[in-house]
Amino acid sequence: MAFKENRTWLGLERPVWAGVLVLLVFLVGGLVWLDWNEPRPVREAVVAPGFTANQWEVIREVERIEARFRYAADGPPPAGWEQEVSRAVMLQEQLLRSMAKPDPVQSVRLERLQELRDTLRAKTLWPQVQAGEEALLRDPGPSVQRTAVLTELLGLRRTINRSQAEVRFKDLVRETQLARELEDAQAGPLHATAMAAVAQARAEAENRDWVAALASYTQAREKLEELNRTHARTKFADLGLLKQVRAEEDTLQGAAQSLEAGLFAAGAEAAAAAGQAEEADERYARAIGLQQQVNDRWPRSRFFTTIKVEEWESHRQTVLAEAMLAKIAAQDRLIAGLLSGRQTLEAGRRIAGLQDAFVRLEQEQPKHRAAVGDLRRKYVYLASLGDALRRLQDDVYDRLLPLPGEPRLLLLRTEVSQVLYEQVMNFNPSRETGDDRPVDSVTWHDAVEFCRRLGWVLGQPVRLPSAREHALASNDVLAAENGDVPYGFLQLNDPHAEWLWAPDEAATAPMAAPAAGGAEGEPEVLPRTTKRRELGFRVLVELPPDGSTVEP
């Protein structure tokens, strides 16, 4: 008979101890059931170690809510879930804040509750998400309605993606796509507005309507800045165009002020033409001030110009200078009257005063363009004569004689002597020198300049005699030779020739030359620059029509 091994436990065979084990399970279960159903005070039974009574009540309440909605995420959201689950989350958060130290179990429960809440919320929002997606498919083109749908749908996607809902409801890729589509939809109208403003600005600049062009470029720049700032990732962002528009705006900065400055300058010119010096001065000053502001604030503007500032300042100073010159001209007429009346002492005093006026003019208005050259030169010359002014006048008047039949025309008895020429011109060009000899080697221009200076000294018009006037004096000499009483003109029939008057625009001038046998011949015409040893001149003084001297 074969040997059979019996396995035992605690000395009992397997069937026996298995039965004992089953009996023990029933006994323990019965004891637990009896303990559970035995009546007892609530607080003594539910308060767990480590928790206060209030904390334990919160835990049991949260457990109750969680048990009720634990499987709600697997089906349609039950009624009242929002209020109940949100309340459970709030209670759990308050519980964790009231605990002295973190409890991992309670923290996990909070995360579980938050996930439940956000998942139920995502399920509630999901029909709106699907409706939005379908609306986008129906309206693919840009429109205000599509932009509104994109805005709402992106908000829904972001709410779900940023929550603790289950992953199956989240789609970060779609959120990114929606964000880009929305940016394009929002940037499109902004870009269109900016481009319209750029086109308008360019058209206005083409028509030289600078103020309007500046306003349009400013609008375009503001729209492009907003576009590049808020929609930098869209296809409409354009930093290159923004840079161009800024540059154009810079070139047009100050347009209004510059144009206003031009209007003031035009008004100043009109006032100056009307003789309103103070008004012109004020308007030029306004124009200069406005243009200088443009130059200081916008050095890159096309309206930046220092040339206009300089030009207007020169015009302003010219207006003021001309006002001063008008007073100087009045003094000039007074001095001419004094000199014509041979009141050289008073004339000398006023000449010195005019010298001071010219100095003030150049100091106060250094940029003026008034024609002061001849007048200034005249008084520099007269001032240089000093006390010799009276002696020079006396010397000349002693040499003058009236022309026969022309009592208001006084002709020099002789040709201009070398000593007289040097007194007036401060040098002697003659080759055959001698104080009383006629001056020679002078051009027609030299003779005219002598007349101009002598006219300043006498306060009377002085010029070269014409051919007819020279002939009148020559006839007087011929009459004297036939026995009549001569007027006393000398050196008319000697070999020395004399320059005669000619119009200023002529390139040549006549000269009176004696003919063979002592009679005066026809005037010979020479270039005005001719110089000869035997060629000099005499001068003629024109008295006022009544034959008297000019009175101051």
For 433-461, write each residue's pLDDT tens digit: 988 899 999 999 999 999 999 999 999 99
Residue-wise burial string across 441-456, b where 16 or more C-beta atoms lie within 10 A, e elsewhere:
bbbbebbbebbbbbbb
Asked whether residue 245 falls in the same domain as residue 393, the answer is: no
CA distance 255 to 121: 60
Q: What is the CATH number of the domain that holds 523?
A: 3.90.1580.10
Is residue 303 included in any domain, yes or no?
Answer: no
Is residue 162 included in any domain, yes or no?
Answer: no
The answer on pLDDT for 529 being more than 80 is yes
Residue 490's pLDDT is what?
79
CA distance 165 to 72: 13
Is residue 165 included in any domain, yes or no?
Answer: no
Residues 6 or more apart in contact with residue 193 via CB below 8 angstroms: 223
Asked whether residue 403 falls in the same domain as residue 547, the answer is: yes
| Average pLDDT value for the chain | 86
Domain boundary among 226, 252, 278: 252
Higher pLDDT among residues 8 and 180, named by residue: 180
Strands, E assignment, 142-182? none
Residues 6 or more apart in contact with residue 55 via CB below 8 angstroms: 95, 98, 99
Per-residue pLDDT reduced to its tens digit, 132-177: 999 999 888 778 888 899 999 999 999 999 999 989 999 999 999 9
Per-residue pLDDT reduced to its tens digit, 207-224: 999 999 999 999 999 999
Residue 481's pLDDT is what?
56
CA distance 282 to 268: 8
The answer on pLDDT for 400 being more than 90 is yes
Residues 536/416, Cβ–Cβ less than 8 Å: yes
Helix (H, G, I), strand (E, B) or coil at 242: helix
Tally of domains in the chain: 2
Residues 230/188, Cβ–Cβ less than 8 Å: no
Residue 66's pLDDT is what?
86
Domain boundary among 200, 227, 252: 252
Is residue 471 included in any domain, yes or no?
Answer: yes
Residue 204's pLDDT is what?
94
Taking residues 29-38, report their average pLDDT.
Answer: 53
The answer on pLDDT for 549 being more than 50 is no
Domain ranges, residue 197 = 188-252
Residue 421's pLDDT is what?
97
For 344-372, where are the alpha helices, taking DSSP H only? 344-364
Residues 463/451, Cβ–Cβ less than 8 Å: yes
Burial class (CB in 10 A: 0-12, 13-18, 19+), 466: middle
Taking residues 515-525, report their average pLDDT.
Answer: 58
CA distance 95 to 248: 65
Taking residues 48-58, report their average pLDDT.
Answer: 86
Residues 375/333, Cβ–Cβ less than 8 Å: no
Is residue 47 included in any domain, yes or no?
Answer: no
Residue 3's pLDDT is what?
33
Domain boundary among 252, 268, 295: 252
Higher pLDDT among residues 75 and 168, named by residue: 168
Is beta strand 406-412 parallel, antiparallel or unpaired with respect to 540-542?
Answer: antiparallel
Residues 187/226, Cβ–Cβ less than 8 Å: no
pLDDT level of residue 76 (50, 70, 90 thresholds): confident
Residue 67's pLDDT is what?
86
Higher pLDDT among residues 2 and 281, named by residue: 281
How many CB atoms are closer than 10 A to CB 248?
21
Is residue 40 included in any domain, yes or no?
Answer: no
Helix (H, G, I), strand (E, B) or coil at 305: coil
Residue 46's pLDDT is what?
54
Residue 100's pLDDT is what?
85
Helices (H) and strands (E) in the chain, counts: 18, 10
Is residue 470 included in any domain, yes or no?
Answer: yes
The answer on pLDDT for 10 being more than 90 is no
Residue 550's pLDDT is what?
40
CA distance 296 to 132: 57
pTM over 0.85: no
Taking residues 489-512, report their average pLDDT.
Answer: 86
pLDDT level of residue 44 (50, 70, 90 thresholds): very low
Tokens 């400013």 correspond to: 218
Tokens 């008979």 correspond to: 1
CA distance 46 to 476: 161
Is residue 330 included in any domain, yes or no?
Answer: no
